[in-house]
Amino acid sequence: MALRVGIIGCGGAGGEHARAYGKLGSRVELVGVCDIDAGRAERLATASGTRPHAAVRDLLDEGRPDLVSVCTAEYHHVQPVLDALAAGSHVLCEKPMAHTVADARRMVTAASAAGRVLGIDYNYRHMPAFRALRAEITAGALGQVLLAQITAHAFCYHHALDLVRFLFGEVVEVASWVDDVQARRNFPWTTPEEFLYVPSVSATALLRMRGGATVTLAASRLRSLEDTLLDVEVVGERGRIALRGLPVGDTRPRRVECWPGDPAAAERLGEARAGQPPFSLSAAFSASIAAFVTALEAGQPVPTEGRDGVAALVLDQAVVQAHRLGTVVRLGG
C-alpha cells in the first residue's frame, strides 16, 4: 500500500520534498499540500497533482497522511510537527528543527509519546562525497582521525554541525570565536541569542571529539556558494583526504586530495568528471527523502532522527556560549 504523504509549507523546501516524493512513484501518494499563503499551496498542488489546503488541520483531517513533511521556516516548525504527530502521522521535519533547544526536545518527547517517527532532513549526509568520506574513515583508511578542518558558507553552517557528528562522532568540548554583525545576517529573524544558525561575518569553532580528534569549523556568509558549499580536510595517523570545491549546482568535489596517493580514491570519493552526471542539492533532497521512506517502509531506524536535530542545536548553542563566556563549553558527548 502506498504511503499517504502530506506537505506543510510550500516554499522552496516544500517544492523539493514534493518532487522527491514524486520520484518514488507508486510507493507514495501525495494526499495534499498546505500553506497559509493560499497561492503557494495552489501552485504546488497543481504542479504535483494533489489538493491544496490553507490550514494544517484540514490537511490532517481530509488527507489522513501516514507521513507529513514539515517545510515551514524553522521558527514555524514546532506547532505543525506537534499537530501532525498528535494526528498519528510520522514526520520528516526540515532542519534546523526548532528555534530553541527546549522546543526541539518537546518535539522528540511528543514523537515518542505518540509512538511515531520524527526524522530531520539532514540531506547533506546523502551527498555521495560525504557518504564516501565517511566510508573511508569507518574502514580505517586514514587510521585514527587526529584532526579535521571544515570551511563552510554560512548557509551550510547548520549542515556542517551535523556533518561533524556524521563523520567524526560526538563532540565533547567546544571553544569558539564569533564575529557577528546583525546587519549582515540574510534572515532578519535570526538573532545570535541562542543559535547562530546562519553566521554572518565569521564563526570559528574548535571542537574536541570524544575519540580525541580536533575539528576546526569556520563558516562565513562572505564566502561564495558558487565556489563551494563546504570543504573538508581530514588528517589521520596514516593519511589525509581533502574534498575541495563542492559548488551549489553540483556537489561533487572539483578536487579530491589524497595522501598517500591512491589512483582510485578520487573516483571513490566522487570527484567531478566531465561526462558524468552532476549531483545537485535537489538530488540530495531526493536521496535523503528516499532513504527516509525506505527506512519507514522497512520499520528500520530512519537516517537522522529528532535526537540528531537536538544534537546539532545543542552544538550551535555551545558555539554561541563558548564565545560569549570566553570559555570552553563541555558537552555530554
Ligand X SMILES: NC(=O)c1ccc[n+]([C@@H]2O[C@H](COP(=O)([O-])OP(=O)(O)OC[C@H]3O[C@@H](n4cnc5c(N)ncnc54)[C@H](O)[C@@H]3O)[C@@H](O)[C@H]2O)c1
Q: Write out the residues near ligand X by the rule CB under 6 A.
A: 8-14, 34-37, 40, 56, 71-74, 76, 80, 94-95, 121, 123, 281
- Which of residues 13 and 265 has its CB atom nearest to ligand X in the complex? 13
By C-beta, is 156 or 320 nearer to ligand X?
A: 156
Minimum CB separation of residue 162 from ligand X in Å reads 10
- C-beta of 63 vs 80, nearer to ligand X: 80
| C-beta closer to ligand X: residue 19 or 240 | 19
Residue keyed to cell 561533487: 252
**Quick one: 312 or 320, whose CB is closer to ligand X?**
312
Per DSSP bridges, beta strands 171-179 and 202-209 are: antiparallel
Q: What's the min distance (Å) between Cβ of 76 and ligand X? A: 4
Smallest gap from residue 188 Cβ to ligand X (A): 13
Dihedral (CA of 215, 282, 40, 26) sign: negative
* Closer residue to ligand X (CB): 52 or 270: 52
- Tell me which DSSP letter residue 2 carries: P
Strand order in the sheet with 67-70: 52-53, 28-34, 3-8, 67-70, 90-94, 118-121
Report d(CA 196, CA 191) in Å as an integer.
Answer: 7
User: Which residue, 281 or 331, has its beta carbon nearer to ligand X?
Assistant: 281
Measured from the CB atom, the residue of 251 and 266 that comes closer to ligand X is 251
- Identity of the residue, 14 or 65, whose beta carbon is nearer to ligand X in the bound complex: 14
To the nearest whole angstrom, how small is the minimum distance from the Cβ of residue 15 to ligand X? 7
| Shortest-Cβ-distance residue relative to ligand X | 11
Q: How far is the CB of 42 from ligand X (least distance, A)?
A: 12
C-alpha to C-alpha distance for 36 and 53, rounded to whole angstroms: 8
What is the DSSP track for 20-64? HHHTTGGGEEEEEEE-SSHHHHHHHHHHHTS-EESSHHHHHHHH-
The minimum distance between CB 41 and ligand X, in angstroms, equals 8
Handedness of CA 292, 45, 47, 2 (dihedral sign): positive
What the block records as the C-alpha cell of 182 is 546583525
Rounded alpha-carbon distances, angstroms, from residue 72 to 99, 281, 325: 12, 18, 33
Cβ pair 161, 312 in contact under 8 A: yes
125-161 in b/e form (b: 16+ CB < 10 A) is bbbbbbebbeebbeeebbeebbbbebbbbbbbbbbbb
Alpha-carbon distance values, 130 to 124, 168, 278 (Å): 8, 12, 15
The minimum distance between CB 45 and ligand X, in angstroms, equals 13
Helix (H), strand (E) at residue 86: helix 78-86
Q: How far is the CB of 266 from ligand X (least distance, A)?
A: 25
Q: How far is the CB of 169 from ligand X (least distance, A)?
A: 22
In 3-state terms, what secondary structure has residue 312? helix
